[in-house]
Amino acid sequence: MKMVNVHASVNEELCKGCKTCEMVCPVYAIRVSKQEKEFDVDIDPKRCVGCWNCEQRCPEHAIEMKPCEPYVLSTDVTQFDYKEIEALCRKTRFHPKQLVCYCTGTRAEELAAAILSGARTPDALVLATGVGAGCGIECNQPILRFLESAGLSFERKKQSFQWYGRTITVWEVPSSLREEFPVFRFGEDQELFDRIINAPVEP
């Protein structure tokens, strides 16, 4: 769940059309197009999640975050049989109550509920839960892992760098590396994760 209390706004006089804002917006809310002598930057306020990525990366400092009427991005977990939520979380190797986003406080169960509600892509999950609208860094893999374990396939937009791909988890570390590098304690960390994932869900 994330409260959105700011929206991006562009000063088109400063914009040089580099499209960085388009590339870092987690929900594709920004479109930059070239007009005759200047650039037109269209920011969809219905999609803007107030993450500040565009403001922080614009090389021309052309974007400002302005206060908006606050609203909340969230998906109601209770609309589904919790067993379905639990099953998808554990298949993704998360405990349902485990945090997947430190910034917004989004938990695994909410990502599962959003997918059960029809979210099919990373940007759809951001819009449905607010995940990824904080630092935009650490929840990257939980988002991709959830979509993959739900059996969803989706393609990265060419020239885009909102996300690249899912990476390895500790369960997939080859045995040769586990044996060669005991100081990293892959096996013990995997056991720790397994204890977390299989912990009961308290009401």
The residues binding another protein (CB under 8 A) are 2-3, 5-6, 23-24, 50-53, 56-57, 65, 95, 97-100, 102-105, 107, 133-142, 145, 161, 163-165, 167-170, 172-174, 177, 181, 183-186, 188-190, 192-193, 195-196, 199, 202
Between residues 40 and 157, which has the closer beta carbon with respect to another protein? 157
Rounded to a whole number of angstroms, the minimum distance from the CB of residue 26 to another protein is 9
Secondary structure (3-state) at 127:
helix
Between residues 38 and 87, which has the closer beta carbon with respect to another protein? 87
Rounded to 5 degrees, φ, ψ at 90 are: -70, -35
Between residues 118 and 165, which has the closer beta carbon with respect to another protein? 165
Rounded to a whole number of angstroms, the minimum distance from the CB of residue 37 to another protein is 26
Tell me how far CA of residue 50 lies from CA of 36, 56, 99, in angstroms.
30, 12, 21
Secondary structure (3-state) at 118:
coil
Long-range interactions of 145-148: CB distance < 8 A, separation 24+: 145/92, 145/93, 145/94, 145/169, 146/88, 146/92, 146/94, 146/108, 146/111, 146/112, 146/115, 147/115, 147/120, 147/121, 147/122
Is the C-alpha dihedral spanning 99, 89, 47, 35 positive or negative? positive
Rounded to a whole number of angstroms, the minimum distance from the CB of residue 35 to another protein is 25
Between residues 79 and 167, which has the closer beta carbon with respect to another protein? 167
Between residues 157 and 195, which has the closer beta carbon with respect to another protein? 195
Rounded to a whole number of angstroms, the minimum distance from the CB of residue 27 to another protein is 13
